Amino acid sequence: MSEVSSKEETIFDSLGDRPQVAELIDWTIVRLDRDTDSIYLSFTALPTFTNPAGNVHGGFIVAMLDECMGSAIVGIKEAEFLPVTISMSTDFIRPVLPGKVLGEGRITSMGKSSAFLEGKLLNVEGKLLARATATYRLLPFRDSVKK
């Protein structure tokens, strides 16, 4: 089995500080599963992310899903590529409430210049909250990231 838990070192440990968006949503790696081309993350949805109904705003939900899918490419492919979102389709299944949110990102198909992924957000009870599919352009990571 080719699985790495958050206690083991991953490529993310060598990339330095998390991007500001990852800090904002409290991006945390739970595990990386190379056998299934998947990454498992957790996020913290803050009360400041909510709409007037008290649910997490859709923009933050989409950001979490995008992080799940993009992080799968970076983690599974050892930062060979910087994934740039081309298109994304999102289904909002249940309201997302402030607190801990679990995420999954999985590479479904990948070529030399693009990749297709799917992502899911779940609550801590394991209920599906939102899902997405997306297409990413693959840029050389080291050439694309500011030092």
Q: Evaluate if residue 147 carries a pLDDT over 60.
A: no
What is each CA distance from 53 to 49, 116, 136, in whole angstroms? 11, 33, 32
Return the structure tokens found at 35: 């056998």
pLDDT for the residue 6? 53
Residue 27, Cβ density class (10 Å: 0-12 exposed, 13-18 middle, ≥19 buried): buried
The CATH number corresponding to 3-144 among 3.90.1640.10, 3.40.50.12500, 3.20.20.60, 3.10.129.10 equals 3.10.129.10
pLDDT for the residue 8? 74
Place of tokens 């590479």: 107
Taking the model in full, what pTM does it have? 0.92
| Nearest by Cα to 45 from 65, 19, 72 | 65
- Tens of pLDDT along 17-48? 888 999 999 999 999 999 999 999 999 999 99
Confidence of residue 12 (pLDDT cuts 50, 70, 90): confident
Return the structure tokens found at 110: 């990948």
> What is the percent of the chain where pLDDT is above 90?
82
**Domains of the chain: which residue ranges?**
3-144
Residue-wise DSSP of 60-94:
HHHHHHHHHHHHHHHHHTTTSEEEEEEEEEEEE-S
Confidence of residue 1 (pLDDT cuts 50, 70, 90): very low
8-state DSSP, 8: S
